[in-house]
Structure formats: structure tokens, C-alpha cells
């Protein structure tokens, strides 16, 4: 496996300086192939906690490289004696919006068992929405063409009831469902609520039973169902501030806990939760904890699910049928971004999958139908200067573009 041109270095903040003094070469450049990681030209990626990619062909790892630490960067962690751990392709982390594809895969699995219909009105499961969401389906929600816009807050702590927030959001819709694309995280909280109401089962357990367990993945939404050993080995997501690296999610308290990481009022118990009451509880829009390898394996299943891969929405010629964010979104299926071959992260290869950006994370997981290959990549923290968009593709930036290019080259496609 060939190397790239420069190696990734960790932050030069005080906490990172301490880590630099105590880290071994293995932590700085861990890789399943046994070669040092060389990720990017120039200084653009000189200060990130960790980064890496993996390419999977359905049976084996084709290529993988990782570097950096999973935890221990913040001053609080250093003062608490948190030992730095290497980030690798088996390190679970919060995957942000890539989680949405797992939600769609869960729904499809339930549809194949005749427990759900992606094209039925959601009012079949939630009759309380009659009059405000009569024409909305799960597929509309998954493809961001439901007419919804994200409210200021699109989540609720247990034991709250999500119904008033859902009714308010649908009443605020300015467009009918079906044609206009507007990316909406709340749509997935509503979708999870619909799925729970239809099956009378908690969403996290449905995802575990129908998607994660069949693939033998030690993963879960908001750490639900993840083994204690795997959780303790998880990655923290960071942002850099003038005071140094700050934890954004999954710090030591969360990684060392045993209960799911949910919003819950003091004194309340998850045992009292009624499925269909609040589908935002397990963060279906972004709360999946899974590793790079796990992502690549999960996203590989898209190759056998043509229903999810068909475009539900495509940007029209005059770009008037949706908010495309400077070309970030041009085609969307049922829970998946679609990048056509002529407008792809891997030039010449259509890609289906999802991007993830939240809490300092930049990540993606993709399947290339023509090659049978899948790949996932991640950068686990945002330095004080946000990355600029890449000239290669609007959905990439100066940190993720080198990872995608490396995966492309190491997969033998360059």
C-alpha cells in the first residue's frame, strides 16, 4: 500500500503538546496495514485529534489508515489522568448524519417483514397528526421532501411527549410534501416516532435487531446495546478554542457509563418510556455510535437495497426545487445522498451513502455500485479555523478531501 505525501500531526495546544511528549509512534500513525499514515499535503490538517479511512469489498479490508488519538486531548482529561488511546478503524464514535442511513435501513427491514409501509401516510401510525400531515410518508421524511423545516429545538427529554412539537412543525410547513428538498433533522425524529408507534418497540432496539445485530456490529444509537468494552474504547469529538481542545460529545463520563446517553429528566426512568412517545430520544438524526469499519460494512448493504438507492429528489436545471447548499445536495434517495458518476467524490463512480458533520466531526460512508467497494472516513475534531470547502466537490472540505482521495488511490482506482 502506497503512502501519501505528509503525515498528520496532532494539535500544538498545551494539552496536545503533553500528548506529543508521551505518545508512541504507533499512536501517531496506527494502521491495520502496518505502515505509517501519511494523510495530506501541507499544513491544512496539521491540527486534528484523529483521522482515518477504510475500504471494504464485502469480505475483507482492501485498505485502511488511521492516525491520532481517540481521547485525552482536553485540559480536563489531562488533569483527570485520562491516558491517550490510539484511534483506529475499530474505534466507535458518534457518526452524526450517517446515522440517518441506519434509520432508513431499519425501516426497510421492517417493510420487508410487512410491519411498515414507507409510502403510507404517517397518520396511519400517528392519527394525532391528522389534518396537519395527511400526505406525508416516511419516504418523504427520509428524503427531506416532507415540507418540514428544522425548528430551533428538534429533540425532547424523557418523559416528554413529542406530539405537540410535531404538530407545531407540520403547521409551520410552507410547502406541500413531495417535491421540494430541504434538509431536516427533525424529520428523522418524527420518522423514529412513527416507526415506534407502528411496531410498539423502542427505536434503538429495532435498529439493533434489524440492522446492527445481523451484521454482527457492536454498535448502537446513543450507545444503546454497545458492549461496555467497546464503549470504553470509544472516541471523543472535540472543537478547538483559545483555551485548547474542548469536549463536544462522548467525554470520559459518557464513555465510562453503562446506561444509554439520552436526555432524561432527573428522577425519570427509561423503563417508563412508551414507544411512539418521543422518537428523538435515541438521536436517530445523528446518534449512531459505530466504527469506521462498522460503517463501511453497514453501508455496503446498500448494494443489495435498490429501493433505497433510487433518487426520490433530484435538483432541477434551474436549481429551484430545493435548498442545495452550493451543490452539496443534488440528488437524494431514501435515507441516502446520491452522487452521480459525473458529480462524485470518486470521479467516474456513482456513490450512495451519507455525509456526517456535527460536534467537530467530518465524516462519510459510501458504496460504489460499479466496483462493489465501500469506504468510510472521519476527522474527529474541528480546529479553531473551520475547513474550507474543497474544489474537488462541494460536499468535501480541505480535511476530508485528502481522505477520500487516499481511499480512492488505495482501492486501486486512481
Q: Check whether residue 104 and residue 189 sit in a common domain.
A: yes
Domain that holds residue 188: 96-225+261-287+316-335
Q: Check whether residue 402 and residue 255 sit in a common domain.
A: yes
Q: Check whether residue 242 and residue 108 sit in a common domain.
A: no
Q: Check whether residue 248 and residue 347 sit in a common domain.
A: yes
d(CA 28, CA 311): 41
What's the chain's average pLDDT?
88
Specify if 152 maps to a domain: yes
Instruction: Pick out the chain residues at pLDDT < 70.
Output: 1-47
Q: Check whether residue 346 and residue 246 sit in a common domain.
A: yes
Q: Check whether residue 125 and residue 162 sit in a common domain.
A: yes
Specify if 296 maps to a domain: no
At residue 192's C-alpha, the angle toward residues 191 and 193, to 5°, is: 90
d(CA 305, CA 156): 32
Contact 137, 120 (CB under 8 A): yes
Q: Check whether residue 241 and residue 362 sit in a common domain.
A: yes
Specify if 386 maps to a domain: no
Contact 62, 373 (CB under 8 A): yes
Specify if 53 maps to a domain: yes
Looking at residue 265, what is its pLDDT? 96
Tally of domains in the chain: 2
Q: Check whether residue 154 and residue 255 sit in a common domain.
A: no
Q: Check whether residue 108 and residue 145 sit in a common domain.
A: yes
Q: Check whether residue 266 and residue 250 sit in a common domain.
A: no
Specify if 182 maps to a domain: yes
User: Considering just the CA atoms, what is the radius of gyration of the chain in Å?
Assistant: 21
d(CA 139, CA 187): 10
Please report which helix (H) or strand (E) contains residue 395, including its range: none
Closest CA to 261 of 292, 231, 230, 298: 231
Contact 209, 202 (CB under 8 A): no
| pTM score, whole prediction | 0.90
Q: How many CB atoms lie within 10 A of CB 130?
A: 11
Q: Is residue 181 packed enough to be buried (19+ CB in 10 Å), middle (13-18) or exposed (0-12)? A: buried
Specify if 197 maps to a domain: yes
Looking at residue 373, what is its pLDDT? 98
Closest CA to 192 of 109, 115, 107, 313: 107
Q: Check whether residue 119 and residue 219 sit in a common domain.
A: yes
- The domain that contains 207 carries what CATH number? 3.40.710.10
Sign of the dihedral defined by the CA atoms of residues 287, 38, 296, 307, in that order: positive
Sign of the dihedral defined by the CA atoms of residues 179, 180, 185, 186, in that order: negative
Specify if 310 maps to a domain: no
Specify if 390 maps to a domain: no
Cis peptide upstream of residue 159 (ω within 30 degrees of 0): yes
Residues 6 or more apart in contact with residue 93 via CB below 8 angstroms: 70, 234, 235, 237, 250, 289, 290, 291, 361, 378, 380
Closest CA to 356 of 283, 300, 306: 283
Looking at residue 47, what is its pLDDT? 67
Q: Check whether residue 104 and residue 239 sit in a common domain.
A: no
Looking at residue 386, what is its pLDDT? 78
Looking at residue 1, what is its pLDDT? 31
Amino acid at each position: 500500500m502506497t503512502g501519501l505525501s505528509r503525515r498528520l500531526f496532532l494539535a500544538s495546544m498545551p494539552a496536545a503538546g503533553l500528548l506529543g511528549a508521551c505518545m508512541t509512534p504507533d499512536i501517531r500513525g496506527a494502521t491495520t496495514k502496518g505502515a505509517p499514515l501519511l494523510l495530506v499535503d501541507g499544513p491544512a490538517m496539521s491540527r486534528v485529534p484523529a483521522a482515518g479511512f477504510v475500504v471494504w469489498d464485502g469480505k475483507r479490508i482492501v485498505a485502511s489508515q488511521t492516525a491520532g488519538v481517540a481521547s485525552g486531548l482536553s485540559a480536563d482529561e489531562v488533569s483527570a489522568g485520562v491516558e491517550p488511546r490510539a484511534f483506529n478503524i475499530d474505534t466507535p464514535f458518534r457518526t452524526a448524519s450517517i446515522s440517518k442511513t441506519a434509520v432508513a435501513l431499519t425501516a426497510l427491514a421492517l417493510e420487508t417483514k410487512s410491519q411498515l409501509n414507507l409510502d403510507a401516510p404517517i397518520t396511519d401510525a400517528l392519527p394525532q397528526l391528522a389534518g396537519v400531515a395527511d400526505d406525508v410518508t416516511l419516504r418523504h421524511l427520509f428524503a427531506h421532501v416532507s415540507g418540514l423545516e428544522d425548528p430551533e429545538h428538534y429533540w425532547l427529554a424523557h418523559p416528554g411527549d413529542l406530539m405537540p412539537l410535531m404538530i407545531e412543525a407540520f403547521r409551520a410547513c410552507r410547502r406541500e410534501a413531495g417535491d421540494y428538498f430541504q434538509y431536516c433533522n427533525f424529520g428523522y425524529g418524527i420518522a423514529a416516532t412513527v416507526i415506534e408507534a407502528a411496531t410498539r418497540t423502542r427505536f434503538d432496539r429495532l435498529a439493533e435487531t434489524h440492522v446492527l445485530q445481523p451484521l454482527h456490529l457492536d454498535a448502537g444509537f446513543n450507545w444503546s446495546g454497545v458492549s461496555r468494552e467497546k464503549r470504553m474504547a470509544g472516541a471523543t469529538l472535540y472543537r478547538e478554542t483559545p483555551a485548547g481542545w474542548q469536549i463536544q460529545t462522548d467525554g470520559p463520563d459518557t464513555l465510562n457509563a453503562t446506561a444509554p446517553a439520552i436526555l432524561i429528566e432527573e428522577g425519570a426512568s427509561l423503563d417508563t418510556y412508551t414507544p411512539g412517545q418521543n422518537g428523538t430520544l435515541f438521536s436517530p438524526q445523528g446518534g449512531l455510535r459505530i466504527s469506521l469499519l462498522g460503517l463501511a460494512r453497514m453501508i455496503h448493504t446498500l448494494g443489495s437495497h435498490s429501493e433505497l438507492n433510487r433518487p426520490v429528489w433530484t435538483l432541477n436545471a434551474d436549481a429551484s426545487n430545493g435548498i442545495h447548499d452550493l451543490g452539496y445536495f443534488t440528488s437524494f434517495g431514501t435515507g441516502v445522498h446520491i452522487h452521480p458518476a459525473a458529480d462524485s467524490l470518486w470521479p467516474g463512480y456513482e456513490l450512495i451513502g451519507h455525509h456526517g458533520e456535527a460536534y467537530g466531526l467530518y465524516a462519510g460512508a459510501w458504496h460504489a455500485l460499479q466496483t462493489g467497494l465501500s469506504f468510510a472516513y472521519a476527522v474527529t475534531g474541528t480546529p479553531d479555523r473551520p475547513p474550507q470547502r474543497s474544489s474537488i466537490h462541494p460536499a468535501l472540505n480541505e480535511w476530508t478531501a485528502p481522505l477520500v482521495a487516499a481511499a480512492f488511490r488505495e482501492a486501486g482506482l486512481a
